[in-house]
């Protein structure tokens, strides 16, 4: 079998070339840059640190850029908001994108609103005809700016690529990008649009990874497989699109379909989530990584664990060692 690849995510916790070098030595094959939070130009310091670490280590890590795509996110916040359970908010108190704000005006009361990959849950309510639409906090916590927003059961049509996405693609070569991750893929047309954009920018050689993270992507999986280089089982938003207890079965189904088609797939999201604040993972997390390899994953990726977590090097060490042990077991 092919060696399973190990990916981290760039962020403040690994902006030091020395830290990145230690991550590469621990087994990291490549790293993701989330362009929903910053552009390539704004991330130039992080990218330069990666290239410096690579030169010092004598390795050539992959650099994956995760596009904005059709994903919906709230706007920027001056400071994080604490949303208390049971609190009532005006609809204007959270900077929703226009598409979400307009959808909420026509959707029935009781519509669920999931924020930050489902960590926070709101519902629309109308206390009286004069009060207008309000939001009740069903599952509270701290909300930061630019976090994802989803309306389960509703359909909001948005373009596959934003203008900023297209601008980033044209700069990809300059920054040493090796692959593009397209979020919230809904159909082969989304991937064809991205392929055309890559061709126009002279970036035909970049690998294309299709993120399956909604019901449309699940349904379209057979037509997505021939149009990409790798399928990404993106369990964050996918866990908001289906009931959480259904997510393991959905993951297994996607993995099986990819295996049968001979298409590589990646497993990502909360693989070692406890290590954002702890120096060791849970036993369940390591079992999750191990089982992903047994299911045939070509790659695994951590996100916040290395981007903002306290132990980025240890995260990669545990991830890589668990993957290697699973390979030996197979």
The packing angle between helices 188-200 and 163-171, to 10°, is 50
**CA R_g for the chain:** 20
Beta-bridged to residue 141, according to DSSP, are 83
The reply to whether 32 belongs to the active site is yes
Catalytic residue among 9, 124, 269, 306: 269
The reply to whether 269 belongs to the active site is yes
Catalytic residue among 211, 235, 263, 322: 211
How crowded is residue 75: how many other Cβ atoms within 10 Å of its Cβ?
Answer: 10
The reply to whether 73 belongs to the active site is yes
The reply to whether 204 belongs to the active site is no
Closest among 215, 217, 210, 265 to 241, alpha carbons compared: 215
Gap between the Cα atoms of 80 and 134, Å rounded: 20
Catalytic residue among 73, 147, 195, 263: 73
> What are the start-end ranges of the E strands in 151-290?
179-182, 207-212, 230-234, 265-268
Catalytic residue among 5, 9, 32, 188: 32
Q: Which residue has the tokens 């159909």?
A: 187
Catalytic amino acids?
32, 73, 211, 269
């Amino acid at each position: 079998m092919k060696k399973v690849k190990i990916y981290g995510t760039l962020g403040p916790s690994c902006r030091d070339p020395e830290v990145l070098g230690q991550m590469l030595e621990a087994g990291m094959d490549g790293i993701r840059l989330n362009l929903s939070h910053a552009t390539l130009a704004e991330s130039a310091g992080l990218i330069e640190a990666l290239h410096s670490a690579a030169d010092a280590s004598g390795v050539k890590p992959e650099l994956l850029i995760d596009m904005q795509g059709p994903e919906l996110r709230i706007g920027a916040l001056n400071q994080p908001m604490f949303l208390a359970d049971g609190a009532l908010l005006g609809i204007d108190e959270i900077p929703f994108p226009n598409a979400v704000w307009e959808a909420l005006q026509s959707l029935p009361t009781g519509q669920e609103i999931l924020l930050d990959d489902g960590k926070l849950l709101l519902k629309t309510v109308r206390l009286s005809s004069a009060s207008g639409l309000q939001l009740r906090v069903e599952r509270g916590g701290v909300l930061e700016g630019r976090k994802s927003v989803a309306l389960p059961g509703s359909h909001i049509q948005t373009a596959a690529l934003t203008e900023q996405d297209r601008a980033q693609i044209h700069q990809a070569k300059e920054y040493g990008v090796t692959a593009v991750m397209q979020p919230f893929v809904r159909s082969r047309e989304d991937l064809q649009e991205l392929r055309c954009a890559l061709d126009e920018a002279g970036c035909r050689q970049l690998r294309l990874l299709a993120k399956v993270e909604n019901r449309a992507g699940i349904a379209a999986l057979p037509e997505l497989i021939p149009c990409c280089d790798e399928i990404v089982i993106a369990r964050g938003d996918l866990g908001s699109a289906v009931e959480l207890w259904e997510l393991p079965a959905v993951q297994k189904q996607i993995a099986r379909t990819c295996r049968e088609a001979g298409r590589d797939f990646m497993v990502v999201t909360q693989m070692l989530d406890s290590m954002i604040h702890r120096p060791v993972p849970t036993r369940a997390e390591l079992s999750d990584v191990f089982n992903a390899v047994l299911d045939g994953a070509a790659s695994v990726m951590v996100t916040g664990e290395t981007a903002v977590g306290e132990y980025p090097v240890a995260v990669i060490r545990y991830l890589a060692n668990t993957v290697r042990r699973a390979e030996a077991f197979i």
